[in-house]
Amino acid sequence: MNQKKLYIDTVGCQMNVNDSERIVTMLQPLGYTQTQRRHEASLILFNTCTVRAGAEECLLQNIANLKNLKRKKPGTLIGVAGCVAQQMGTELLQKYPWVDLVFGTHNLHLVPEMVKDAEQGRRRAETDFLDSSERLDLFPPIEGRKRVSTFVTVMQGCDNFCSYCIVPYVRGREISRRFDEILHEVQGLADQGLREVVLLGQNVNSYGLKGEEQPPFAELVRAVAVVAGIDRVRFVTSHPKDMSDDLIACFTDLPKLCGGLHLPAQAGGNRILKAMNRGYSREHYLETIAKLRQARPGIKITGDMIVGFPGETEAEFEETLSLMEEVRYFDLFSFVYSPRPGTKAAELSDDLAKEVKLARLDRLQKLQAVHSRIHNEAYVGSTQQVLVEGLAKRHGQVSGRCDSGRIVNLAGSPTLIGKLVDVKILEGYANSLLGELL
Ligand code: SF4
């Protein structure tokens, strides 16, 4: 079989990262192996994100730039996957005649036949949404995962319709994957030697909430935590409104459940939270954080924050800063609000000047930098258990994560990869820690 090279450019959330791994697996029988060098690719795929306008514009520019490459190397196939593909569909084929295949978020299973068609010169766009029963049979395995830690998809889609967010429109309705299949996959990963699983979903903790076919998420976490060979369990991303007491209790009951949680608030004031349709108040959010800290003292909370939502006043922005002061996030992903056509918030009048929004983002990020540094410096002198995941960028060092998820680099040989080791923390930097093996 010919060795064909596949180059995938993945942007956006972990769901996309996971989907890209599936695509790599699905194209192996067709003779494709993954390459990190675009110039040697016989198939270039963009796995895309449409959550913010900037990422979409950048993608379209990248696709436009491939016109010349296609002229010079007409045999190179070009494909678009993910949320932009879902949204634009055939428009991408029309606008960019050098694109060969476009497949949406429910059409991953069609990739092998679409690539075969493209190899025969047949261009296709597939963006139909499937119903839940069909989708449940379409979680193809990811093979060849030689890593120490990996994602396991447990649910897909989103029914929350936050007013600013395009995801429910491009990812479709929520479905929870079959409980037994998830456990089977996790056991298989443990048998391959993986030590950590990260349960993945757009709203991972709404697993099992729609219908009675699957148990609640807390039960799934408990079942995964007893799989022999798995030493660590994490999950991402959780919605604050679905953070049940049972799930919070898992942080007390399950030592294998790591002490870091991504719980995006998105804003600090109740009027904005309501306008965002987030389904919780500031008070409820803070109460949840307090319960989590009681369940697992020292738990590290990370989050997302949107600055400059339409109509956000200075006082409301200050509420976001004060929420940050109360929560003291470990890390925070923060963005200026980006209107997405088709969402409710895009219809709101937005007269806040761009400079004001950028200045607010700057203030927020400076505050977060202080908080992150305080967290990191507090590690200095402590002993952390680190799961070594691979080589660090610096020669002679390996890299892993401590319980909270913070990256720890330490001098050591590659034989440490895959091991849980005790590490004394020597330095705390902005985004990582430096330690030494004990
Ligand atoms: S919960 Fe809200 S922000 Fe998250 S994916 Fe769903 S709609 Fe988007």
- By DSSP bridging, strand 383-391 and strand 397-401 are antiparallel
Query: Distance, CA 390 to ligand 1 centroid (Å)?
Result: 32
pLDDT of amino acid 146: 63
Amino acid at 295: A
Characterise 377 by phi-psi region: left (phi > 0), alpha (psi -120 to 50), beta (else): alpha
Q: Do domains 145-258 and 294-377 have the same CATH topology?
A: yes
> Domain 4-131 belongs to what architecture?
3-Layer(aba) Sandwich (3.40)
pLDDT in tens, 72-87: 999 999 999 999 999 9
- Nearest Cα residue to atom 1 of ligand 1: 160
Where in the chain are the domains? 4-131, 145-258, 294-377, 383-437
pLDDT of amino acid 145: 62
pLDDT in tens, 318-343: 999 999 999 999 999 999 999 999 99
pLDDT range class, residue 130, cuts 50, 70, 90: confident
Query: Distance, CA 402 to ligand 1 centroid (Å)?
Result: 28
Q: Which two tokens stand for residue 336?
A: 């200026």
pLDDT of amino acid 55: 87
The fraction of the chain above a pLDDT of 90, given in percent, is 89
Looking at the DSSP bridge assignments, the partners of residue 5 are 33
Distances (CA, A) of 323 to 268, 294, 364, 373: 5, 18, 11, 18
Residue ranges for the binding site for [4Fe-4S] cluster? Answer: 13, 49, 83, 158, 162, 165
Higher-confidence residue of 142 and 301: namely: 301
Could you give the CA distance from residue 279 to residue 354 in angstroms, rounded to a whole number?
Answer: 28
396 burial via Cβ count (<10 Å: 0-12, 13-18, 19+)? exposed
The fraction of the chain above a pLDDT of 70, given in percent, is 98
pLDDT range class, residue 303, cuts 50, 70, 90: very high
DSSP H or E segment with residue 190? helix 179-191
Q: Which two tokens stand for residue 335?
A: 């963005």
Mutate to test the pocket of ligand 1, among 49, 202, 210 (most ligand atoms within 8 A of CB): 202
pLDDT range class, residue 139, cuts 50, 70, 90: confident
> In terms of Cα–Cα distance, which of 182, 81, 187, 202 is closest to 139?
182
pLDDT of amino acid 140: 63
pLDDT of amino acid 212: 72
Pocket of ligand 1 (CB under 6 A): 158, 160-162, 165, 167-168, 202-203, 239
pLDDT of amino acid 386: 98
Q: Does domain 383-437 have CATH number 3.90.700.10?
A: no
Could you give the CA distance from residue 64 to residue 204 in angstroms, rounded to a whole number?
Answer: 36
- By DSSP bridging, strand 432-437 and strand 420-428 are antiparallel
Mutate to test the pocket of ligand 1, among 15, 51, 165 (most ligand atoms within 8 A of CB): 165
Amino acid at 388: V
Instruction: Extract the runs of DSSP E, i.e. beta strands, from 237-366.
Output: 260-262, 300-307, 331-336
Largest separation between any pair of C-alpha atoms in the chain: 64
pLDDT range class, residue 14, cuts 50, 70, 90: confident
Could you give the CA distance from residue 91 to residue 103 in angstroms, rounded to a whole number?
Answer: 12
pLDDT of amino acid 187: 95
> Rounded mean pLDDT of the chain?
94
Q: At what angle do helices 179-191 and 217-225 cross, to 10 degrees?
A: 20
> In terms of Cα–Cα distance, which of 347, 340, 7, 23 is closest to 170?
340
Could you give the CA distance from residue 40 to residue 36 in angstroms, rounded to a whole number?
Answer: 9
Mean pLDDT of 124-136: 87
Question: 397 pLDDT exceeds 80?
Answer: yes
Q: Would you give the DSSP letter of residue 333?
A: E
> Domain 145-258 belongs to what architecture?
2-Layer Sandwich (3.30)
pLDDT of amino acid 2: 58
Query: Distance, CA 393 to ligand 1 centroid (Å)?
Result: 34
| CATH number among 3.30.750.200, 3.40.50.150, 3.30.1330.10, 3.10.20.30, domain 294-377 | 3.30.750.200
pLDDT of amino acid 54: 87
Tabulate helix, strand, coil % of the chain (nearest 5). 40, 25, 35
Asked if 51 contacts 340 with a C-beta cutoff of 8 angstroms, the reply is yes
Query: Distance, CA 20 to ligand 1 centroid (Å)?
Result: 21
Question: 6 pLDDT exceeds 90?
Answer: yes
Q: Tell me how long the chain is.
A: 438
